Structure 1
């Protein structure tokens, strides 16, 4: 874990980013991709549960909390930027378990973490609102009791799980804000009307928008809607996997090497990751 003053500085900087304007918070899936994104000039990064899981040959949602905590420590150590943790549903069925795991996540040095209301059960995909609120409250207490400035993100998964219920999504986000969430997030929103409705409903709390595919909206358009931050989820990891899979499939099926045409330069990658004397 970075020294305490470094963690505190990152957390303060992260909160300041949410105070005004709109910023991109891309999602690296390993230390190398985090290092590259920092070099490009981004101000903060967020982990991706799917990208991290694929890195470990697992499906999204199948990593254990112990594995995720190791991943968070790696990501915090890989960059000087604030890191927001995709902490899924807190890796526990009860609020006490959520609180315990959130305390462990805070100890990794992350500047923010999200708790979602998905159950992982296709038959009942979203938790009842009272239960979901208690889990946000538990996460809030854990952060406060740790004396941490870690930012808490409350996630409503309706749209992401195919439940196109804007009223319930807004009701959930408002309840999460009242329970102590600092930032609100409803992955799966795609229309201007839905985005603007959510922003207005939870104001002045900041809203995160997921853009994980080609979009008709530019960052400037999204900022004009009042969104405070934009993440990309597993899209960068999927893009990397897409290039790898195409090249590998061409090797396997045709014995051709054309898939290497867009490969990154080894010299560039070595320059990016080479340790500097005295570092």
Structure 2
């Protein structure tokens, strides 16, 4: 496996290349191995929600950090690709959490701002990047703003967009290479974010039945699109559908592949 610095540089180049970086999020070793072996996979990203669910915890830093890191460490060891970790909000100490993540081989990550005061959120971004420099790598921070996901159903979308831009620009100015804006799916809002943040600076999540295709996001100048918890839900949907058919007197689906 390449050294940390090389993997970090590779992950950064994937974010800034003309081609969009499509990341299928994983949550355990077998999901990581399956995705890593799939043509077109160039890096991996973990899903905190998926890892928490695997151990029976709800999302939102409810899973102990030690357990979370232990699973990510197993994922990193199982693949020969750069791995980006969903750091949630940094577990109260973003710089220290990233230091520990780097120690297990992680070279990038998402960090939620949780709509904290902007100066606090910027300080967290700076702490993460400083932890990377201390470790001798350019940690690829996908700085997340929760402006859209925490907006109420009656919120003025123009105001939400403006706040996402304000925060995103602040994170870029602090040194983050990419800004993650989950909850944005409308073409015109994506276009506005790309115009404000710059091409190959915006990261979004693909929402089943709502998001634009990856090819269209690439054409709009999006840097990165990931799947978050939805890949685990795809797998669980297939499991439940198979169980329904089997328990109703049928058989398991034809075409089931031996992927483990």
TM-score by length of 2: 0.89
Give yes or no for contact 1:30–1:52 (8 Å, CA) kept in 2. yes
**Equivalent position SS for 1:159:** coil
Q: Does 1:211 align with 2:194?
A: no
| Map of 2:111 onto structure 1 | 115
Q: How does 1:88-127 map to 2 (within 5 A)?
A: 88-92=88-92, 97-118=93-114, 126-127=115-116
Q: Does 1:146 align with 2:144?
A: no
Q: How does 1:243-258 map to 2 (within 5 A)?
A: 243-248=238-243, 255-258=247-250
| Map of 2:87 onto structure 1 | 87
Runs of 4 or more off by more than 4 Å in structure 1?
none
Quote the RMSD (CA, aligned, Å).
1.9
CA offsets 1:164-214 (integer angstroms, 9 cap, x no match) = 411001101111111221111110101111111111211256221110312
How many residues in Structure 1 have an aligned counterpart in Structure 2?
251
CA offsets 1:235-276 (integer angstroms, 9 cap, x no match) = 11001111223344566xxx42437226733xx22xxx5xxx
1:147 Cα shift? 1.4
* Whole-angstrom distance in 2 between the partners of 1:208 and 1:262: 36
Higher relative contact order (CA 8 A, sep 6+): 2
Larger Rg, first or second structure (1 or 2): 1
Q: How does 1:59-78 map to 2 (within 5 A)?
A: 59-61=58-60, 62-78=62-78
**Equivalent position SS for 1:57:** coil
| Map of 2:45 onto structure 1 | 46
CA offsets 1:84-114 (integer angstroms, 9 cap, x no match) = 110000001xxxx221111111111112111
| Map of 1:123 onto structure 2 | none
CA offsets 1:28-71 (integer angstroms, 9 cap, x no match) = 11111111111112111110011111111111121121112112
| Map of 1:18 onto structure 2 | 15
* Whole-angstrom distance in 1 between the partners of 2:197 and 2:236: 36
Q: Does 1:224 align with 2:211?
A: no
With over 3 angstroms needed to count, the CA separation of the structure-2 counterparts of 1:257 and 1:75, relative to structure 1, is farther
Q: Does 1:159 align with 2:158?
A: no
**Equivalent position SS for 2:16:** coil
**Equivalent position SS for 1:258:** coil
Give yes or no for contact 1:64–1:91 (8 Å, CA) kept in 2. no
* Whole-angstrom distance in 2 between the partners of 1:167 and 1:43: 33
With over 3 angstroms needed to count, the CA separation of the structure-2 counterparts of 1:158 and 1:256, relative to structure 1, is same
* Whole-angstrom distance in 2 between the partners of 1:196 and 1:204: 10
1:8 Cα shift? 2.7
Q: How does 1:185-200 map to 2 (within 5 A)?
A: 185-200=180-195
Q: How does 1:124-143 map to 2 (within 5 A)?
A: 126-143=115-132
Structure 1 unaligned segments of length 5 or more: list them: 119-125, 274-279
Higher mean alpha-carbon deviation, 208-217 vs 229-238, is at 208-217
Give yes or no for contact 1:102–1:142 (8 Å, CA) kept in 2. yes
**Equivalent position SS for 1:60:** coil
TM-score by length of 1: 0.84
Structure 2 unaligned segments of length 5 or more: list them: none
* Whole-angstrom distance in 1 between the partners of 2:112 and 2:211: 27
